[in-house]
Chains A and B, each alone.
Chain A
Amino acid sequence: MMGQTAPMREAAKHAILILGALIVIIPFYVMVSYSLKSPREIESNTGGFFGAQAPMVDEYCVKVGNPKEDCLETPVIFNYSQAIKKAPLFRYLLNGVIVTASIFLLQVLIALPCAYALSKLRFWGREFVFSLVMFCLLIPVHAIALPIYIMLAKIGLTNTYASLVIPWTISVFGIFLMRQFFMTVPDDLIDAARMDGMSEFSIVWKVMLPTAIPALLAFAIFSVVAHWNDYFWPRIVITGDRDLYTPPLGLREFQGDADGSMWGPMMATATIIVTPLLVVFMLAQRRFIEGITLTGMK
């Protein structure tokens, strides 16, 4: 009996997992596919994944008075060159890097000492402080967005890098994650460092940080993905200056103006935006999973 039911159950499990994977992958598939096709193929839903790559006419080029023959382009080249040309996409990418890196570094700078204190130092009220951290995990960002915006506006920080970075520097999730990891670090290691003459700050940076690399990588991915892809907050605090746009804001450039949405270039932009994340994740995949499962040291 067992021998017969087990393969069935395995098959069912796999079917469910495959279905789940498909649901996650399809939007990506559509994104990449649209970034390769001509507008006509997108509208009529033809051309398979790659599209026929038949030369297409660049309507805008014709509109400004060029002869039709000069405005023929291969769709894939058209989409990607539009993505780069129409908006200063590299500038946006650079902004994205500056903002996400600053956010992550500041988060680490604050979360590690906090996590160390909450896991390894004994002081009055520690459990209460930790329960406050847990409580903060429950507050949705949107609920406090408005007060933060008003505060930033009052001190004149809207439309600056600072307004993109400062609200995110204290990550309660980071404190929580690192605290859970630090709990697994043996107390003896910290005492050994104290005997060797390290200060508490040196212990955080020279002992705890190196042992916590896997957990830190996991946190890095959560943090970087969240802030790289964030559309909501930059949209609120960056109102004028396009030089401060982050990549997701760049997507707006292709959103329906008079000549309708330009799906091809828009999807090309989206593809360019997510590629760095995918590459980094692939490189860090193994250690990322180590960090999540919190199998630190023994």
Chain B
Amino acid sequence: MADIKLSDIQKSYGDIPVLKGVDLQIADGEFLTLVGPSGCGKSTLLRIIAGLEALDQGEVLIGGRSMNDVRASQRDLAMVFQSYALYPHLSVQQNMETPLRLRDMSFWERFPVLGHLFPSRRLKTVSIQEIVNETATTLKIDHLLERKPGQLSGGQRQRVALGRAMVRKPVAFLMDEPLSNLDAALRVHMRAELAELHRSLKTTFIYVTHDQAEALTMSDRMAVMMEGNVLQFGTPDDIYKDPRDKRVAAFVGSPKMNFLPGEIDVQGRVSAYGIPIHKSNHTEKGPIEIGVRPEHLEVGPVGRNANQWPFTVTHKENLGSDFFLHGHINGSDQRIVARATPEKAQQISIGAEIKVQANPAMTMAFAADNRRIELVEG
């Protein structure tokens, strides 16, 4: 059992708070993603879990044991860095052997020349080499073992970095944006491969990324971080469909969710751009923001319904399977994006005046302080 529990983690650099009390409970074997914009403290949190950074307050528990006074190397965690951080002067094989040699051999057994006097060294060397070869085969880098990191491509280095982390069979893998230095095609490929690796290893992964698509596609659960806080923690599905905070809603999903100026009138009816959206709320009043994802903005004209927004198309984005129509509602200068099927989009030219309508079931409302406001039918 190696569940990881973070309670009230706080950290400042100087007088700038970077983490403001983070609580997370990570189950054994889970693929957890920490996602958020650059500078929100993801790496800092990961480094605190790893033991590379001291925390100001709070506690890191691994398998129920407090890790606050345990050194990084004693926490039985492995880390994959964005820059891969391979030892440039060692071969791939030696890179992968290093963590095992440091863990399994004594100081004297590792000692150059003198170490050969110990019979135990030979046995250990053999078993270490076996593990390295096995891991290299799994990662399909067994033909690269003799090379130096400088002679490898980005993707190959990435695999070696993974291999160096895997050989130790740690209780959890910590990965800090491991794919961000790869080209786009390889990145998408490696997403699938990492997810598969996770499934076969059945070990906890804590994965840091600023790319919401990576978080959505790979994780069992994701924690959306902003400005040193975890705003929401849940499954990708939950977070996409039911964001509890406007910043989460805006961050997750591509293209971004549209936010329309709206209000709740005295009867509790909700409208946006002056047109009712058939939803209501009886506890709040006043101006709010209505969130609609591009795929939930139906491109019309749709039937004879009068409750539709006039929409001026300014740009069409062709993704092959879908089109994204960019434009303005009611002549306001806010850019709104709506999704259309290729068939529909073909009939719409740039500059056309069309109508769009929000799917009421999928429409969300947010208060001025970013809080989600519950809406009911009617």
User: In the bound complex, do residue B85 and residue A297 qualify as a contact, i.e. CB atoms below 8 Å apart?
Assistant: no
Q: How far is the CA of A116 from the CA of B109 in the complex (A)?
A: 26
The answer to whether residues A195 and B89 also contact, given A188-B81, A188-B82 and a CB cut-off of 8 A, is: no
Proximity bits, A204-228, B CB within 8 Å = 1, else 0: 0001001101000000000000000
Contact for B52 among A186, A195, A213, CB less than 8 A: A195
The 10 closest A-B pairs by CB, nearest first: A197-B73, A192-B85, A210-B89, A197-B102, A188-B85, A196-B99, A188-B81, A189-B85, A188-B83, A195-B79
Proximity bits, B75-87, A CB within 8 Å = 1, else 0: 0011101111111
User: In the bound complex, do residue A191 and residue B81 qualify as a contact, i.e. CB atoms below 8 Å apart?
Assistant: yes
Q: Please, which residues of chain A bring their CB within 8 A of the CB of B285?
A: none
Proximity bits, A182-198, B CB within 8 Å = 1, else 0: 00001011011111111
Contact for A196 among B47, B83, B88, B102, CB less than 8 A: B102
Query: Closest approach, in angstroms, between the C-beta of A164 and any C-beta of chain B?
Result: 30
Q: How far is the CA of A195 from the CA of B84 in the complex (A)?
A: 13
Q: List 7 A-B contacts (CB under 8 A).
A: A191-B79, A192-B79, A194-B73, A195-B52, A195-B79, A197-B99, A210-B87
The answer to whether residues A186 and B102 also contact, given A191-B52, A194-B73 and a CB cut-off of 8 A, is: no
Interface assignment of B103: CB less than 8 Å from any CB of chain A: yes
How many A residues touch B, CB cutoff 8 Å? 16
B-contacting residues, A102-121, CB 8 Å: none
Contact for B85 among A186, A198, A210, CB less than 8 A: A186
Interface assignment of B272: CB less than 8 Å from any CB of chain A: no
Q: Please, which residues of chain A bring their CB within 8 A of the CB of B87?
A: 189, 192-193, 207, 210
Interface assignment of B57: CB less than 8 Å from any CB of chain A: no
Contact for A195 among B72, B82, B86, B88, CB less than 8 A: B72
User: In the bound complex, do residue A191 and residue B47 qualify as a contact, i.e. CB atoms below 8 Å apart?
Assistant: yes
Q: Please, which residues of chain A bring their CB within 8 A of the CB of B83?
A: 186, 188-189
Query: Closest approach, in angstroms, between the C-beta of A189 and any C-beta of chain B?
Result: 5
User: In the bound complex, do residue B47 and residue A211 qualify as a contact, i.e. CB atoms below 8 Å apart?
Assistant: no
Q: Which residue of A lies closest to B168 (CB)?
A: A196
Q: How far is the CA of A47 from the CA of B72 in the complex (A)?
A: 73
Q: Which residue of B lies closest to A192 (CB)?
A: B85
Q: What's the interface size class on B, roughly?
A: 20 to 34
Q: Which residue of A lies closest to B150 (CB)?
A: A297
Proximity bits, B42-62, A CB within 8 Å = 1, else 0: 000001001010000000000
Interface assignment of B98: CB less than 8 Å from any CB of chain A: yes
Chain B residues near A (Cβ < 8 Å)? 47, 50, 52, 72-73, 77-79, 81-89, 98-99, 102-103, 164
Q: Please, which residues of chain B bring their CB within 8 A of the CB of A195?
A: 50, 52, 72-73, 77-79, 99
Query: Closest approach, in angstroms, between the C-beta of B77 and any C-beta of chain A?
Result: 7
**Contacts A188-B84, A191-B50, A198-B102 given; 12 further ones with Cβ under 8 A?**
A186-B83, A188-B83, A192-B85, A193-B87, A194-B52, A195-B52, A195-B72, A195-B79, A196-B164, A198-B73, A210-B89, A211-B88
Q: Which residue of B lies closest to A202 (CB)?
A: B102
Q: How far is the CA of A186 from the CA of B47 in the complex (A)?
A: 15
User: In the bound complex, do residue B81 and residue A192 qualify as a contact, i.e. CB atoms below 8 Å apart?
Assistant: yes
User: In the bound complex, do residue A211 and residue B89 qualify as a contact, i.e. CB atoms below 8 Å apart?
Assistant: yes
User: In the bound complex, do residue B73 and residue A196 qualify as a contact, i.e. CB atoms below 8 Å apart?
Assistant: yes
Q: Which residue of A lies closest to B82 (CB)?
A: A188
Q: Which residue of A lies closest to B84 (CB)?
A: A188
Q: Please, which residues of chain B bring their CB within 8 A of the CB of A186?
A: 83, 85
Query: Closest approach, in angstroms, between the C-beta of B304 and any C-beta of chain A?
Result: 62
Q: Please, which residues of chain A bring their CB within 8 A of the CB of B79?
A: 191-192, 195
Q: Please, which residues of chain A bring their CB within 8 A of the CB of B85?
A: 186, 188-189, 191-192
Q: Please, which residues of chain A bring their CB within 8 A of the CB of B102?
A: 196-198
Q: Which residue of A lies closest to B174 (CB)?
A: A195
B-contacting residues, A163-205, CB 8 Å: 186, 188-189, 191-198
